[in-house]
């Protein structure tokens, strides 16, 4: 699997947002346009393409966590974190969440809408605050506030 992992990491590096991509759209040209962009984001109107469409990556490219060594998981996740950061996005996991659980959550971001926020950061923590249905299950930091 090692050679495939190296090719996958190269593909992830190619998926970084370059400075020239949408350079004219990076910052709104007027206060009104900036407010419109913020209102669209808050209202969920005019949704953007998925992260997969922006990056050219697909979930199918990523092997299952059970097919990778711990070192390969770490290398892929580090490369994915860097790629997300280039798109002004960040994924954050509880420190006690095993890599085998964090990896599919992170790769699943490819299916989500990719809101590019110039001058801001879109943060994914995978927790809605409603622990009974949280994706993080027993690792949810909100569990302590629920009688589960």
The model carries a pTM of 0.79
The structure tokens listed for 45 are: 């109107």
- The dihedral formed by the CA atoms of 34, 39, 45 and 50, expressed in degrees to the nearest 10: 60
pLDDT given for residue 24 in this prediction? 46
pLDDT digits (tens, 9 = 90+) for 37-61: 778 778 877 667 889 988 999 999 9
Domain range spanning residue 18? Answer: 2-145
pLDDT digits (tens, 9 = 90+) for 92-137: 999 999 999 999 999 999 998 877 767 778 889 998 888 888 889 8
Question: For residue 52, which of 107, 8, 13, 110 has the smallest C-alpha distance?
Answer: 110
pLDDT given for residue 39 in this prediction? 83
Domains of the chain: total: 1
Beta bridge partners of 123: 90
């Amino acid at each position: 699997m090692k050679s495939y992992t190296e090719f996958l990491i190269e593909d992830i590096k190619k998926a970084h947002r370059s400075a020239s991509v949408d350079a004219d759209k990076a910052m709104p040209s007027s206060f009104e346009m900036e407010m419109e962009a913020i209102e669209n984001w808050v209202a969920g109107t005019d949704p953007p393409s998925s992260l997969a469409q922006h990056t050219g990556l697909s979930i199918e490219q990523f092997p299952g966590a059970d097919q990778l060594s711990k070192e390969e998981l770490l290398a892929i996740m580090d490369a994915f974190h860097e790629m997300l950061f280039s798109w002004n996005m960040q994924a954050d996991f509880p420190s006690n969440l095993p890599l085998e659980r964090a990896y599919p959550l992170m790769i699943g971001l490819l299916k989500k809408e990719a809101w590019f926020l110039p001058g801001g950061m879109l943060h994914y923590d995978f927790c809605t605050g409603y622990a009974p249905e949280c994706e993080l299950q027993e690792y949810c930091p909100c569990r302590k506030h629920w009688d589960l």
